[in-house]
Structure 1
């Protein structure tokens, strides 16, 4: 009885499989249409934000071998908006590539040519013009095929971009060219045309601080180094200083984690100084210099920092303190030479530069100190 039922059930299954619309829509993977290879490239802006462009790349040479040089712009790629004869778009821009949508993904909120765009993935289109700026379009519809279903109401952003002459590119290529700490320039290049546009992160400092805030709730917050690194970033970039002071204090004294040492105390003193709490900053900095963890190199570096800030007399005091704590230790006499030359006492500067030359740990430093002696003799400071 079971065998008799089996064949009718199989027959019903085959009929269902053959008539199922969903399964009929399935297809195998074939080479890309027109041999327009898919390309994807990602560029980070700093350590956190990144941009990804995905596109299919046609070439100047047609699949039949025809050289289309001089026939790309205005012919293969029409000027203006075009009725493509298919889909719902009666006036379609160029898909800025081949086959599916060219897409661009922003990991964070950014700006394109100075205009804001939210994080996310967008369809990228262009209106190509002759002898005038082009229009870059980012559409909220990133899943359509090409521009056949382009709808202006789905635009998230439109900006003008200026085409430029370029060295010849056989394959349509997107390349991240200029790369700065808070921005990058992305350019479409094909045939003899290049079209660059700038992508920037409007408040990179806030992006880092927001991320540090999260990281400090995880493993980074279980060491004094994590808190000190975050506080130091804010100090060096003059941002979120009140919060940075809390982080610096955690680096110094958080139970089971904080550690009072030259590094953590110096960071705290620097933030207090930036907050114009000078007397507190000086007190903490002297605590750092006199701390058992302070090394002659650290104190020397602080003295040089004071010179660069124009605080020559204060720098000399620090170099003298270093000499008192660590006599005859490299680079204590280098510091004294720098300090005295900064205050105009070249006689003493020469004395300590000669002493430093005899103590130099290598030939490079020995030569440097001997040159310093000559400079001081002519009234020039380091």
Structure 2
């Protein structure tokens, strides 16, 4: 009688173990270009944000920047989905007033200047379906060179006397996009 009880208990344990494994959630591996976000103010304690961008961070991995973000072509500003820009207050990009809301942020890289583009497109993968007719604002900004090379594409915000500057950096390329109030 005792043997049947032990066998029954072991069988039940295996059955439970098997049922738990078949119901376990499979989680994807880490993305090669992980999603990130930058916002201003940068403090996570400050919930009164002016601007935020969500983007993916591609790596150079011994590739050239002009192959990953070709000059003269619309680029999604990162990897995977196009970068998503949220303005929590109306702001100016150049001479164009942009209403508070969520947009796609594209750029057109160039050797001496990049064109920053705010578009009404939303939920877009890459820049394959970019439509110039959906542009809300465009601004050409100069390219500068950084002292150190950045392996991963990066975005950071900095307060400016007239608003906030969104800094884009990858390899030695640096671009500052001014948003004014």
> Tell me, what secondary structure is at the counterpart of 1:148?
coil
> Tell me, what secondary structure is at the counterpart of 1:165?
strand
Match of 1:31 among 23, 29, 32: 29
Per-residue CA deviations over 1:117-136 (Å, capped at 9, x if unaligned) read: 11111111111123x32211
> Tell me, what secondary structure is at the counterpart of 1:153?
helix
Distance in 2 between residues matched to 1:29 and 1:154, nearest whole Å: 36
Distance in 1 between residues matched to 2:165 and 2:68, nearest whole Å: 26
Match of 1:78 among 49, 70, 73: 70
Displacement of 1:48 after TM fit? 4.7
Instruction: Tell me if 1:56 matches 2:53.
Output: no
RMSD: 2.3
- Asked if the contact 2:96–2:137 (Cα under 8 Å) also holds between the matched residues in 1, the reply is yes
Q: Which of the two has higher C-alpha Rg?
A: 1
TM-score normalised by the chain length of structure 2: 0.76
Distance in 2 between residues matched to 1:38 and 1:144, nearest whole Å: 15
Q: Which fold has the larger relative contact order, with Cα–Cα distance below 8 Å and residues 6 or more apart in sequence?
A: 2
Distance in 2 between residues matched to 1:38 and 1:31, nearest whole Å: 13
- Asked if the contact 2:93–2:138 (Cα under 8 Å) also holds between the matched residues in 1, the reply is no
Displacement of 1:29 after TM fit? 5.1
Match of 1:110 among 91, 99, 103: 91
Displacement of 1:30 after TM fit? 2.1
Match of 2:152 among 151, 166, 171: 171
Distance in 2 between residues matched to 1:173 and 1:30, nearest whole Å: 23
- Asked if the contact 1:113–1:197 (Cα under 8 Å) also holds between the matched residues in 2, the reply is no
- Report the counterpart of residue 15 of structure 2 in structure 1: none
Distance in 2 between residues matched to 1:109 and 1:116, nearest whole Å: 7
Distance in 2 between residues matched to 1:186 and 1:134, nearest whole Å: 13
Displacement of 1:184 after TM fit? 1.2
Match of 1:161 among 130, 141, 149: 141
- Report the counterpart of residue 124 of structure 1 in structure 2: 105
- Asked if the contact 1:138–1:158 (Cα under 8 Å) also holds between the matched residues in 2, the reply is yes
- Asked if the contact 2:53–2:85 (Cα under 8 Å) also holds between the matched residues in 1, the reply is yes
Match of 1:146 among 113, 120, 126: 126
Distance in 1 between residues matched to 2:27 and 2:141, nearest whole Å: 36
Displacement of 1:162 after TM fit? 1.0
- Write the mapping of 1:188-337 to structure 2, written as runs, cut at 5 A: 188-201=168-181
Per-residue CA deviations over 1:205-246 (Å, capped at 9, x if unaligned) read: xxxxxxxxxxxxxxxxxxxxxxxxxxxxxxxxxxxxxxxxxx
Per-residue CA deviations over 1:4-59 (Å, capped at 9, x if unaligned) read: xxxxxxxxxxxxxxxxxxxxxxxx752355x1010012113999551001100011
* Structure 1 alignment gaps of length 5 or more: 1-27, 62-66, 82-92, 202-382
Per-residue CA deviations over 1:134-190 (Å, capped at 9, x if unaligned) read: 21111101211111111111111111111110121111100113x146511111100
- Asked if the contact 1:106–1:120 (Cα under 8 Å) also holds between the matched residues in 2, the reply is yes
Displacement of 1:72 after TM fit? 1.1
- Report the counterpart of residue 76 of structure 2 in structure 1: 95
Distance in 1 between residues matched to 2:175 and 2:34, nearest whole Å: 21
Q: Give the direction of change, closer, same or farther, for the CA distance of 1:80–1:176 in structure 2 (3 Å limit).
A: same
TM-score normalised by the chain length of structure 1: 0.37
Distance in 2 between residues matched to 1:143 and 1:129, nearest whole Å: 26
Displacement of 1:199 after TM fit? 1.2
